[in-house]
Structure 1
Amino acid sequence: MDICNACFSGNLDYSIKFEGEKNWSFLPILVVYLKKRNHLIHYKNTMVEVKEEAIVELVGFFKENLDCEAIFFSVDRVNWKPIHLISQTYEARWVDDILVKNSAFNYIQPIVDGSENVYGYEMLARFHDGNGGVLSPFEVFNAAKLRSRTFSLDRLCRLTAVKSAAFVSGKVFINFIPTAIYSPEHCLQSTVQLANELNIEPSRFVFEVVETEEVEDLAHLKKILMYYKEKGFEYALDDVGEGFSTAEALKQLEPHFMKLDMKYVQGVSMDERKQAVAKDFLNTALRVGAVPLAEGIEKREDFIWLKNEGYKLFQGYYFGKPSPIHTLETRRKIEEI
């Protein structure tokens, strides 16, 4: 199977561009130095591309000799940042080790129906820190974003969740980041192939657009979701009130599930404003043919109110907190897949 560059966590290269006469005058000296140290990858006009191992020395050189306000860097040649932020990207290189070693595993949280029977589980990514501890997803994804590794990390989490699905019953909800998928035919083929190899019915998987993702390119998202649908998978939209502005947009996407965010769920039984949002959401979900799911439930009275209104599925600490899905023996089996 071919792996695209976006999903391959190889060595990171830095593009650095210079502005201003003072900086330009130093460029020939800098290029000679980089060549001697075997750090230079490419040089053109006012930009150099260098290996990561050169960064520490270069930053010191820039501070002493150049106008740092007129120097910018990028690790993807698209998102240019001021050079003083380069240390954040360099110091986040620990995330590469997670990707190389596939140091991801899953916690699960149950999703129940109105009778409080388990309907399925949401797979929640967790990461080993190398010292027996667990890193928070926020910390890891933030580091990956700094190093333009979101593609690789999203792929790792998807494949880990698919492997873990073999050890639970019912539906399996798996988060994914739309902007980490530039072409579904290329970026998702490994997900489809792994599910087939494990003989897991595609209909068991529900791929969920994460709540933190701002949906700007509706056509791109629709292309991804249609690819999932063609392969027999289902999908869910999370935080619909934030990311999708119209019912027409939701109708185009035809989600199988829609999740009501916890900020409208917690305390809904006693809050008329939240009740109005929840009813609106429910009507929209039913209108576009999606199963309405309320997440973040912590109190029974909120569950009862939502259930009586017509919500079909429920998730939250009241039914179960995220917990490891397997014993050490099962974890070894997953890692062998």
Structure 2
Amino acid sequence: MAFQPIVDVASGKPWGYEALVRGLNGEGAGAILSQVTPEQKYRFDQACRVKAIELASRLFPAEEMRRLSINFLPNAVYEPAACLRATLAAARTHRFPLTSVMFEFTENEEIVDTGHLKKIITEYRRHGFVTALDDFGAGYAGLALLADFQPDLIKLDMHLIRGIEGSRPRQIIVASIAAAAREMGIMVLAEGVETWNELHVLRAAGIALMQGYYFARPEFERLPALVGSIDLPQPTHQAAFA
């Protein structure tokens, strides 16, 4: 597993870290996941969760609260309570607080049973986990999912972020999503941030949580140092959209 920081640009410090599948020789998630058969998907999902918690318990600074973000595929979860047993056991073993774990379900996987997804979210929240909708704006029925399920956080897909400083449509869309999320009490995280200009526009839209190569690339079984400058004047929401 590799880790990439999620940065709170208001404080300039990591808010948390996303655990990402990586091979021993640097293989990306796609190369690894392509080798996982449908029959192996559940066991692989469980093994990744346990490994992420074990590593985070060793790597995260004990004196500061950091969230551990873990991806999962809702269609691989056959029974929410049963599928959490290994996760809960790992958290107990390594004394990792459940409230510091965030589960991201991806919008790129078609949700074939929305009732099942609701059961998953309800069960995860019952244990204190944070829930997040990943790749918002890129996959299947993002707004419909948001209307039916209000996660604690949404992650804006990088395709909405790329080149936003020169795209008024992207600026309007992102600002509208951020405003709607605030009205619903949902946090917004922009992923795939690669430039200072993107950071500036996103912060002007009121987005404080960001992730991407501008801040740090994922590193295998270690926490990478932040590299991008976050020093910005305090923006107004209108600054980037005039």
Task: Indicate the residue corresponding to 2:36 in structure 1.
Answer: 144
SS at match of 1:321: coil
After superposition, the C-alpha distances for 1:159-178 in whole angstroms (9 at most, x for unaligned) are 11111120214111111111
SS at match of 2:180: helix
Percentage of identical aligned residues: 32
Question: How far, CA to CA, are the matches of 1:117 and 1:310 in structure 2?
Answer: 17
Q: Is 1:246 paired with 2:174?
A: no
Task: Indicate the residue corresponding to 2:214 in structure 1.
Answer: 318
Aligned counterpart for 1:154 among listed residues 36, 45, 56: 45
Aligned counterpart for 1:198 among listed residues 82, 94, 103: 94
Task: Indicate the residue corresponding to 1:108 in structure 2.
Answer: 3
SS at match of 2:213: coil
Letter in 1 for 2:140: G
Task: Indicate the residue corresponding to 2:108 in structure 1.
Answer: 212
1:182 to partner: Cα distance: 0.6
Task: Indicate the residue corresponding to 1:286 in structure 2.
Answer: 182
Letter in 1 for 2:46: R
Task: Indicate the residue corresponding to 1:182 in structure 2.
Answer: 78
Task: Indicate the residue corresponding to 1:123 in structure 2.
Answer: 19
Question: How far, CA to CA, are the matches of 1:165 and 1:243 in structure 2?
Answer: 31
1:245 to partner: Cα distance: 4.2
More helix by share: 1
Aligned counterpart for 2:130 among listed residues 224, 227, 234: 234
What is the TM-score when the length of structure 2 is the normalising length? 0.83
Q: What is the number of residues matched between the two proteins?
A: 216
1:39-188 aligned within 5 A: 106-115=1-10, 116-128=12-24, 133-145=25-37, 148-166=39-57, 167-169=59-61, 170-188=66-84
SS at match of 1:108: strand
After superposition, the C-alpha distances for 1:112-138 in whole angstroms (9 at most, x for unaligned) are 11232111111111234xxxx343321
Task: Indicate the residue corresponding to 2:233 in structure 1.
Answer: none
SS at match of 2:23: strand
After superposition, the C-alpha distances for 1:38-80 in whole angstroms (9 at most, x for unaligned) are xxxxxxxxxxxxxxxxxxxxxxxxxxxxxxxxxxxxxxxxxxx
Question: How far, CA to CA, are the matches of 2:36 and 2:178 in structure 1?
Answer: 35
Question: How far, CA to CA, are the matches of 1:125 and 1:197 in structure 2?
Answer: 22
Question: How far, CA to CA, are the matches of 2:92 and 2:148 in structure 1?
Answer: 28
Given that 1:141 and 1:153 are in contact with CA atoms closer than 8 Å, whether structure 2 keeps it comes out as no
1:317 to partner: Cα distance: 0.5
Question: How far, CA to CA, are the matches of 2:142 and 2:22 in structure 1?
Answer: 31
Which 10-residue stretch deviates more, 211-220 or 222-231? 211-220
CA RMSD of aligned residues (A): 1.8
After superposition, the C-alpha distances for 1:215-256 in whole angstroms (9 at most, x for unaligned) are 232211111111110011111101222233435x42442211
Which 10-residue stretch deviates more, 176-185 or 210-219? 210-219
Q: Is 1:309 paired with 2:200?
A: no
Given that 2:22 and 2:220 are in contact with CA atoms closer than 8 Å, whether structure 1 keeps it comes out as no
Letter in 1 for 2:71: N
1:211 to partner: Cα distance: 4.6
Question: How far, CA to CA, are the matches of 1:118 and 1:227 in structure 2?
Answer: 27
Structure 1, unaligned stretches of length 5 or more? 1-105, 328-337
Question: How far, CA to CA, are the matches of 1:245 and 1:291 in structure 2?
Answer: 16
Question: How far, CA to CA, are the matches of 1:326 and 1:262 in structure 2?
Answer: 24
Structure 2, unaligned stretches of length 5 or more? 224-242
Q: Is 1:296 paired with 2:187?
A: no
Question: How far, CA to CA, are the matches of 1:176 and 1:291 in structure 2?
Answer: 19
1:139 to partner: Cα distance: 2.2
What is the TM-score when the length of structure 1 is the normalising length? 0.61
Question: How far, CA to CA, are the matches of 1:243 and 1:165 in structure 2?
Answer: 31
Q: 1:326 and 1:305, CA in 2 relative to 1: closer, same or farther beyond 3 A?
A: closer
Structure 1 consecutive aligned stretches of length 4 or more whose deviation exceeds 4 Å: none
